[in-house]
Amino acid sequence: MAAAAPASPLIDALRKLGPHDHLCSVYDTREEQFAVTMPFIAIGLERHEKCIYIAESDGLDSTRKAMRASGIDVVQAEKSGALTLTTKEQTYLGRGSFDPDWMFAFWREAAEKAQAGGFSALRATNETDWVLRGGPGMERWTEYESRLTETMAETNCLALCQYNWRRFPPGLILDLIRTHPIVVYRDVVCRNLYYAPPREFLEPAQPMREAERLLRNIREHEQQIQHLTQALGAVNEELEAFAYSVSHDLRAPLHHINGFSQLLVEELGSGIDPTSAHYLTRIRE
């Protein structure tokens, strides 16, 4: 149903994702968008996961075309039930207005159906430009994104939310970054230092709690760097010790070879042909 995604740092990082992960991709162009979402779907199909792609109402054809271009057998994937391409009208606005609690129930039910259908997990990704057009209930979108992390943690599901950062207001992008534990930006999958848990994000402004979290994250990040630096230093020391050991172990046989070549020169003298003399000289050098 899908060709194996070619190896790259981005693909390798996407392969490390799994059920319970909630991430967003912040992109500039359609090419950047699909560079993340297409392998995200392809990896899910490879793993026999149920994959849902929620596209703009007028974007289903272009999404299918991009999938085919990336090596996904869209016809077979849809026919088998492994892939569903749908729109906000059938999902987020299925009741005519946006209701976060209804969507959480939607994801739980979809994950249960996927498991009952023999799939290993549910994998979903959604385009979000339509959010900017507003509508009943859309003022709760950031609340939904924040609480979705908890829903993913409770279900056998992972979700990738797509945001064009040149279309969304900067303040909204900041909130969306804070609601995703993992952020993909410019082909790099990042553990988000600025992620705010729902309890903190949804409560009235609490500068002290946020300051404590930021300081804790900064400290943990620095500790990780120090740990990796120490581990790298230990590896370098082992390599240096190994190189010294190899060098020392080779000294004796090399000394014997040099002595043997000198003995040959002394015993054979002028009886050595030019080619042999040349190689013996090279050995002694």
What pLDDT does 29 receive? 96
Dump pLDDT digits (tens) for 187-239: 999 999 899 999 888 887 666 676 777 677 777 767 777 767 777 767 777 77
Query: Does the pLDDT of residue 262 top 90, yes or no?
Result: no
Query: Does the pLDDT of residue 117 top 60, yes or no?
Result: yes
* The two three-digit tokens of residue 181, written as one number: 């534990």
pLDDT band for 266, please (50, 70, 90 cuts). low
* pTM score: 0.76
- Distance between CA atoms of 16 and 39, rounded to whole angstroms? 12
What pLDDT does 215 receive? 74
Dump pLDDT digits (tens) for 143-190: 999 999 999 999 999 999 999 999 999 999 999 999 999 999 999 999
Residues in CB range of 137: below 8 A, 6 or more apart = 97, 98, 99, 100
What are residue 157's DSSP bridge partners?
122
Dump pLDDT digits (tens) for 60-110: 999 999 999 999 999 999 999 999 999 999 999 999 999 999 999 999 999
Mean pLDDT across 271-279: 62
Instruction: List b or e across 95-125, with b for residues whose CB sees 16 or more CB atoms inside 10 angstroms.
Output: eeebbbeebbebbbebbeebbeeebebbbbb
pLDDT band for 258, please (50, 70, 90 cuts). low
Query: Does the pLDDT of residue 114 top 70, yes or no?
Result: yes
pLDDT band for 42, please (50, 70, 90 cuts). very high
Residues in CB range of 87: below 8 A, 6 or more apart = 54, 55, 56, 57, 60
Mean confidence (pLDDT) of the chain? 86
What pLDDT does 57 receive? 87
Percentages (nearest 5) of helix, strand, coil residues in the chain: 60, 15, 25
Query: Does the pLDDT of residue 16 top 60, yes or no?
Result: yes
pLDDT band for 5, please (50, 70, 90 cuts). low
Helix (H, G, I), strand (E, B) or coil at 230: helix
- 249 vs 7, which has greater pLDDT? 7
Q: What is the dihedral of CA 9, 13, 16, 17, to 10 degrees?
A: -150
- Distance between CA atoms of 39 and 19, rounded to whole angstroms? 16
